[in-house]
Amino acid sequence: MSGKARYGFAFDPSCDTSRQQGREQGEHRLKQQTEQWMWRIATGLVVPMPVLLLYALAPAEIVVTVVAVLFGAHSIVTRHGNWLRQPWVIVAGLLWGQIILSSMVMGDGHGRAQAVCFGRYFLFIAALQVWILPAARIRAVLARVYGSVAIWLVAGCWQQYIWGHNIWGYGRWADGALLGPLWAPRAGSGLFMTALPGLFPAAIRLSQREGARGRVMAAAMLLGLVLTMVLVAQRMPLFLMLGGMGIVGVLVPRLRGGLVAVGLLGAGSVALSPVLAPQAYHKLVVNFIAHMHAFADSPYGMLFIRAGVMIQQHPWFGLGFDGFRHACPDPVYFHGLPWLGVAEGPHGGATGCNLHPHNYYLLMGTMGGLPAMGLFIALVACLLVTIWKDVAPTRDPQRLMLAVVVTLVFWPMASTSSLLTQPTAGWLCMIAGWALAASPVASRLQYVHGGD
């Protein structure tokens, strides 16, 4: 008999195995709890994003960063990496790499750091797609938030139009745009981004379920949105909303008659705007005609020419992250574009500058050259193919409107705000991630909470 056995300390292998199993079970429970809390925190941050993008841009940027970091940690801890094999993620990674490379070649230390952080937007979109929004109930909550924000904006715009000031005491902007319940001219873009995914699905459902009465109610809802957009007097959001209505009219037959009526009444409201809203008429009609008549000498034309000259002179690497902002006042770029029929000349000189070129595609070209512009086009194509796959307009109007909004925000012939700052980056990332989460591919990629 051994010494241990003699004194009652015989070794029992089963005890050691039980302790090991207990430790493993404890670690597994801790892992599940940690993952659940990470998901709850991320979801709690994402759902109020539409409000933050109106009133708290710095917190909105923090939310994007925190959710991206949490999703990265989640993917590492849970070994959830099947989402990395998606075409759009691969192209986004190549685009990110090109911008980093361009910033290393052309930029300074600050630009390189910003280029590295640029990837947080792609991580945020992926987090929405496969981690936060695959559940239909969370998407339904987000849709209600979007709809509520859209109604809030409409009410604020009409209050300012009728009483001459909004809840903060502000009147119209200097160029005649309504501010709505805000203090800067962002009501038009905010209403476009919230009304189409938040209110249009309800209009489509009304037209499907309530017969003639439902179609009239749906048309009245859409007419109210168009009239509000006309009063807001921001051209691009109005054009995009009208474009969205046109797509819906093509894909949803029961709304076509109502949308034709809305279009005619909307055109009538523009015709009456010299009397009802002279400032809106001047901006929507007079300024637009002037810009189109002499586009090269308009502010938008000057930005287009300046960005084109930059890309022409730096076709492979651009100017690095946010290079347009820093290089725009440099006289070396005060040239025309003879290959487009724009003669040589200063074209506004330093006065023709802005913080960004007002176009996503030109922005990518100035940051990373033609390779970045090409990769951005490929990224948009990958997103649209996934988002539009198997869309059923009448059966799933919510998904239809998400696809429509993503298509419109990436429309190349448009004047846009900078993709590098809020609220534009936040609106775009939210709608892209939401649309991807509603697509069939999301169900194959989502992570089952608490699983291995």
- In the chain, the percentage of residues whose pLDDT exceeds 90 is 72
Per residue in 7-31, pLDDT (tens digit) is 444 555 556 666 666 666 666 677 7
Per residue in 155-201, pLDDT (tens digit) is 999 999 999 999 999 998 988 899 999 999 999 999 999 999 999 99
Question: Which domain, by its residues, includes 285?
Answer: 137-293
61 assigned to some structural domain:
no
163 assigned to some structural domain:
yes
Q: Which two structure tokens, joined as six digits, stand for 426?
A: 């936040």
165 assigned to some structural domain:
yes
The residue ranking higher by pLDDT, 221 or 18, is 221
437 assigned to some structural domain:
no
As a whole number of angstroms, the distance between CA 234 and CA 152 comes to 18
Residue 450 has pLDDT above 60, yes or no: no
Per residue in 238-282, pLDDT (tens digit) is 999 999 999 999 999 999 999 999 999 988 988 888 888 888 888
Q: How many domains does the chain have?
A: 1
The residue to which tokens 């509000």 are assigned: 228
What pLDDT score does 11 carry?
Answer: 52
How many angstroms separate the Cα of 12 from the Cα of each of 3, 21, 203?
15, 15, 71
As a whole number of angstroms, the distance between CA 347 and CA 351 comes to 9
Give the mean pLDDT of 207-229. Answer: 92
What pLDDT score does 197 carry?
Answer: 98
**DSSP 8-state symbol, 337:** B
Q: Which two structure tokens, joined as six digits, stand for 207?
A: 């037209």
257 assigned to some structural domain:
yes
186 assigned to some structural domain:
yes
Beta bridge partners of 375: none
225 assigned to some structural domain:
yes
Nearest to 116 by CA among 105, 128, 104: 104
Environment class of residue 173 by beta-carbon count within 10 Å: exposed (0-12), middle (13-18) or buried (19+)? middle
What pLDDT score does 15 carry?
Answer: 60
330 assigned to some structural domain:
no
pTM score? 0.92
Inter-residue contact 424 to 238 (CB < 8 Å): no
What pLDDT score does 349 carry?
Answer: 75
Per residue in 350-363, pLDDT (tens digit) is 777 899 999 999 99
What pLDDT score does 45 carry?
Answer: 98
Per residue in 50-70, pLDDT (tens digit) is 999 999 999 999 999 999 999
Environment class of residue 451 by beta-carbon count within 10 Å: exposed (0-12), middle (13-18) or buried (19+)? exposed
Per residue in 391-400, pLDDT (tens digit) is 999 899 999 9
Inter-residue contact 79 to 94 (CB < 8 Å): no
